[in-house]
Structure formats: C-alpha cells, structure tokens
C-alpha cells in the first residue's frame, strides 16, 4: 500500500515560492547509536506470519543537513530510507516531521497509508523503494529541486498471519522531482511527476 506511484502530482510550474518553515529544527536529531542491542531487540523482518519487529531507525547522514546540492541529494535519498522504514514499522513520525503540510503525495501516499495500515492491524512485506538521483540544483533562495528515478519491489499486505489483503506489483523506473525547502534543515515541499 505504501508506494509512491499511486499518486503523482503533475506540475507545469518549475518554480517554487514556498515560505513554509519546517515543523522543527533538523539539527536536534542524534544519529549516534545508544548501545548494543540485546538478542530480544534484534531486527526481525516482516513475513507472512507477522510484521517486522525492532526495525532499525535510519540515521540522517551529516551531508543531508547541509544547504548544498550534495546536501539536497543526500536528504532526498534519506527520505527514501524513511519511506522504507515506514513500510517496515508503520512509524511515520520522522517522515511527517520533514514533510511540509502541503505535500500531497507525502501525506496521501506515504503517511496516511502507513497510518491506515497500522489502524487496521495490517503489515506490509516487501515493496521497498530504491532511488537514484538523476539531477539536483539549488533553484532559489532556500529551495532545491532533486530529480530521482525510483523502483519498488513486489510486496504483500497482510491482514492476519498468511492472509494476503493486497498484492503490490513491482514498480518500474519512474522519475520524480522533489521540491525541497531549507530552514535550518531540508523539508519536502512537494513531490511531482517528471515526464
């Protein structure tokens, strides 16, 4: 169910005049591991028998915090790490924090979908996304555009052990443009389809 191909905003306007500020400073994230996990807290991937457990939280790379083209690229790839984390865990707190309120795809295709899966006591296995940055540029004051090509694997959504609620098809290479804003850290303003 969590798949970016479901809804792609088309845009004929190549500029962004976003003035929204991020929900909170990205500088407060601590990517330092706290301690060695105990055997009972080891990551267990999701399966037909149950959801993933103890999903490791992806650390934001230091480069992704910088207002540079490389920082924008790194941040966008980190967004895909958070998307895959949400697929495994249904935890959307961090992806929601770095998604602006008016990012329709961020909410409709990722955050709201994960919340629905959680509320229905379902879980997704597979359907992970892989992304490659095609292009990036700083397009204005505190704004960057990053173009990616992504694919996603086949997957299944389960409603009970061994009960498939939905089958997810493999997503062939699809291009998206991420319209990013910077205010003490990057946030996603909009995700748009690229022809």
Q: Which residue has the tokens 């149950």?
A: 50
**What does the alpha-carbon distance between residue 140 and residue 82 come to, in Å, rounded to a whole number?**
26
pTM exceeding the 0.85 threshold for the entire prediction: no
> What residue ranges do the domains of the chain occupy?
62-195
* DSSP symbols for 92-156: -HHHHHTB-TT-HHIIIIIIHHHHHHHHTT-EEEE--EEEEEEEEEEEETTEEEEEEEEEE--EE
Q: Which residue has the tokens 């959307």?
A: 92
**What does the alpha-carbon distance between residue 93 and residue 72 come to, in Å, rounded to a whole number?**
21
The reply to whether CATH 3.20.20.190 applies to domain 62-195 is no
Q: Are 69 and 138 in contact (CB under 8 A)?
A: yes
Q: Are 99 and 111 in contact (CB under 8 A)?
A: yes
CA-CA-CA-CA torsion for 150, 128, 114, 54, nearest 10 degrees?
A: -140
> Which pLDDT tens digits describe the chain residue by residue (195 residues)?
555 544 444 443 444 334 444 444 444 444 444 456 566 789 999 999 999 999 999 999 999 999 999 999 999 999 999 999 999 999 999 999 999 999 999 999 999 999 999 999 999 999 999 999 999 999 889 999 999 999 999 999 999 999 999 999 999 999 999 999 999 999 999 999 987
Q: Are 47 and 125 in contact (CB under 8 A)?
A: yes
């Amino acid at each position: 169910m969590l798949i970016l191909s479901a809804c792609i905003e088309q845009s004929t306007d190549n500029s962004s005049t976003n003035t929204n500020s991020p929900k909170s400073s990205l500088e407060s994230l601590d990517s330092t591991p706290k301690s060695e996990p105990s055997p009972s807290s080891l990551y267990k991937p999701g399966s037909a028998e149950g959801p993933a457990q103890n999903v490791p939280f992806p650390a934001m790379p230091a480069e992704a915090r910088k207002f540079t083209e490389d920082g924008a690229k790194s941040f966008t790839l980190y967004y895909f790490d958070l998307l895959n984390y949400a697929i495994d865990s249904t935890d959307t707190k961090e992806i929601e924090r770095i998604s602006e309120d008016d990012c329709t795809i961020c909410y409709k295709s990722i955050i709201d979908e994960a919340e629905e899966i959680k509320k229905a006591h379902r879980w997704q296995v597979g359907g992970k996304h892989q992304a490659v940055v095609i292009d990036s540029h700083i397009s204005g004051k505190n704004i960057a555009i990053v173009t990616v090509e992504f694919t996603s694997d086949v997957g299944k959504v389960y409603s009970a052990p061994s009960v498939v609620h939905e089958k997810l098809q493999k997503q062939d290479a699809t291009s998206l443009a991420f319209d990013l804003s910077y205010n003490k850290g990057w946030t996603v303003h909009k995700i748009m389809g690229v022809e």
